[in-house]
Amino acid sequence: MTEEKAREPSAAGVGPDDGPREEGAPPRGKWANNKEYLLSMTGGIIGVGNLWLFPFSCFQHGGAAFLIPYFLCLLFIGGPLFLLETALGQYTNEGAVTAWRKICPMFEGVGIASQVTVFYMNSYFIVILAWNIFYLIHSFKSPLPWSTCDNEWNSESCHSPVNMIANTHLFSTNTSWSFLNNIPLPDDYESIPYFNLTDGSLSDHTPEEEFWRNRVLRMSDELLGKVHWDLALCLLLAWVICYFCTWKGIKSIGKVVYFTATVPYLLLLILFFRAVTLPGARQGLFYYLYPDIRILADPSAWEAAVMCVMYTYATCQGTLTTLGSYNKYNRNCYRDCMALCCLSCVTGIFVGFIVFSVLGFLAHEQGLDMYDVATFGPALIFRAVPMALSVLPGSNFWTVLFFLTVFLLAVDSQFMLTESLATAITDMFPRHLRRPGAREVLVLVISVVCFLLGLPFITEGGIIPFGIVDSYGANGSIFLFIACLETIIIGWVYGADRFYDNIEDMIGYRPNPVIKYCWMFITPLISVLLLVFRLLTKSSYTEYDYILEPVASVVGALLFVTPLMCIPVFIFVALWRNPKNMTSPSSDLRQARPHKPVLTLCKRIIFKSQGPPVGTTAERHEKIMMEEPSGV
């Protein structure tokens, strides 16, 4: 039974809901109601990763058998991290940086590192949103511009494999089909790769591929050429939408998510019923779910499960801490975390039915194997699915529906990235940035800066810097390193028992004890082992590795090292500021049981209590807890 504690601020100026604040700093806001928080969290964790990462990982690593490592990783890594970060924000009432400063001043750099990666993602992830807007606008044209070869951006080799399958008599040895593209047939045409339906080079000349390469990306040998004005306008539109949905913080986000976090489920449901009724859908679902138990012996399957959990649950990015920090002190964050983790898991599995029904249809229409059409990332959204939808009756309707769904899934994630960064900066300088009007200016500055940094990604050759940031700046190894440090700090430095006491003080009971041992042993151990595995195998989740040149690798290495360097740098900053209290939590934090050991193991005291002397703030907190009434 949850114990609800409605408390008022104490005479010392410290209360559970308002939290401590710097002198002269306006108070922090709170979610207007529970629905706004839950919908915001739903929008933050349910994104394009559920659409393009989980289904492909499941297909590639044993089908339904992949659910075994996935659920185990969710139980021992994703869930504990989710609770840790959410409870940390709710307990400290601070953003991703200052929360770690108050818990352990020595490791403030962990929060800085997460926000550096969020800054990277804020600059390049929204480019995907711009591409999606570009496709969405063109989805209203009939015929769809990526369904024909008679556009100015198409090459002479362009042809639709779907048409070739449907009209095989036109492609026999004795048939001349040069009238289709008005090009002469060479004598040795049968040896040309794009006449071979099973050759991988065929996809290089489909109308969908040429629209993506020649119209959207407009790839060239020139690196960072001219900016494409139409894509720049799409990027600007994306930032304008993002700005006006986040400029008031949780006041505006809490209202927007009523639409952006719920409508995608309605659209996905419509797409689901259409997808599973397509010819070949059964074949796609068979490949998606057919269990291959042998894959469990493959370390790469376990790596894929860990990275899939971390990416789709938005851990180690500071987003969960940020959204949790606007909760009331006595909100049951433990129950919320369990529910949200289940929701994300179910959504990923459900979306997989849609994706692989469509891919099965695509394979059926082209006469190819599923392994030839299954893909993930932008290739799935901007090439494979548009190709399949373009041959359906009412293709414009289904294409608009699909890209609208992707837009709503992606825009919520962008909201939360921007909010995480804005909240972190605001909490670092509360006296200046919590004043009226300051929030709007800060979000405007973030939007303008990230918009300008995003322009190089939509130039000729812009896919190269995009690939560099995607491969290095948002590399999974960074998040693994942060996950390892976060659990070590809470488990061993701050004290897992003390953090359990804090959570119990907030929600009225202690979480499952397994989570404590995950923080102390399992999660950091798996993170270290996986880091070593990725280092030895040079594992990477990106389709852009082939374009990374040596110079680009140097730039990428700087992007990779920069957030990690923040951690040792701020250790020295803490040493310079106050060498005697590098690991002591802020006295402003409420400690319900300050005289209990901070860490015990098998009923043995590992670290004794760090109880404050009589008359300190922490002791006043304990007195407040005993004197104030509580309800159930």
Instruction: Enter the tokens of residue 453.
Output: 């940094």
For the cut 50, the answer to whether the pLDDT of residue 461 exceeds it is: yes
* Type of residue at 99: A
Reported as a pLDDT band with limits 50, 70 and 90, residue 322 is: very high
What average pLDDT does this structure show over 416-435?
94
- Predicted confidence at residue 168, as pLDDT, reads 38
pLDDT score at 539: 55
SS3 for 64-131, per residue?
A: HHHHHHHHHHHHHHHHHHHHHHHHHHHHHCCCCCHHHHHHCHHHHHHHHHHHHHHHHHHHHHHHHHHH
What are the chain's domains? Answer: 1-18+586-632 (no CATH), 34-138+226-359+367-377+389-577 (1.20.1740), 161-205 (no CATH)
Could you tell me the CA-to-CA distances from 275 to 371, 394, 398, 408, 519 in Å, in that order?
19, 14, 10, 19, 41
Cα distance between residue 362 and residue 381, in whole Å? 13
- Percent over 70 (pLDDT), the chain: 83
Q: In this predicted structure, what is the pLDDT of residue 206?
A: 82
Segment holding 342, helix H or strand E? helix 333-366
Cβ atoms < 10 Å from Cβ of 12:
12
Residues 327-343 have pLDDT tens digits of: 999 999 999 999 999 99
Q: What burial class does residue 554 get, using C-beta atoms within 10 Å of its C-beta: 0-12 exposed, 13-18 middle, 19+ buried?
A: exposed
- Would you call the peptide bond into 378 cis, given omega within 30 degrees of 0 as the criterion? no
Give DSSP secondary structure letters for 506-550.
HHSSPPPHHHHHIIIIIHHHHHHHHHHHHHHHT----S-GGG--H
Token match 């070949």: residue? Answer: 280
φ/ψ of residue 462, rounded to 5:
-70, -20
Range in 228-242, 499-513, 531-545 the model is least confident about: 531-545
What pLDDT was estimated at residue 542? 45
Q: Which two tokens stand for residue 45?
A: 């964790």
Q: For residue range 88-128, list pLDDT tens digits in order.
A: 999 999 999 999 999 999 999 999 999 999 999 999 999 99
Identify the weakest region by mean pLDDT among 15-24, 117-126, 269-278.
15-24
Other C-beta atoms closer than 10 Å to the C-beta of 335 total 12
**What SS3 state is found at 4?**
strand
Amino acid letter, residue 476: G
Which pLDDT belongs to residue 3?
41
| pLDDT tens, position by position, 24-54 | 667 888 999 999 999 999 999 998 888 888 8
pLDDT tens digits along 380-414? 889 889 989 988 999 999 999 999 999 999 999 99
User: Strand 599-601 relative to strand 604-607: parallel, antiparallel, unpaired?
Assistant: antiparallel
Look over the chain and give the mean of its residue pLDDT values, rounded to a whole number.
Answer: 84
Other CB atoms within 10 A of residue 240 CB: 12
Q: What is the pLDDT of residue 23?
A: 57
Please answer whether residues 48 and 263 qualify as being in contact, where contact means their C-beta atoms are separated by less than 8 angstroms: no
Whether residue 222 is predicted with pLDDT greater than 80 in this model: the reply is no
Q: For residue range 533-570, what is the model confidence (pLDDT) as tens digits? A: 988 886 544 444 444 567 777 888 899 999 999 999 99
In the three-class reduction of DSSP (H, G, I as helix; E, B as strand; rest coil), residue 280 is classed as coil
Average pLDDT over residues 362-384: 84
- The Cα 336–Cα 338 span in angstroms is 6
Return left, alpha or beta for 426; rule: phi > 0 is left, psi -120 to 50 is alpha, else beta. alpha
* Whole-number Å distance between alpha carbons of 128 and 414: 10
Residue 360 has pLDDT above 50, yes or no: yes
| CA proximity to 370, closest of 380, 358, 379, 360 | 360
Lowest mean pLDDT among 330-339, 459-468, 483-492, 494-503: 459-468
Residue 82 has pLDDT above 80, yes or no: yes
- Model pTM score: 0.86
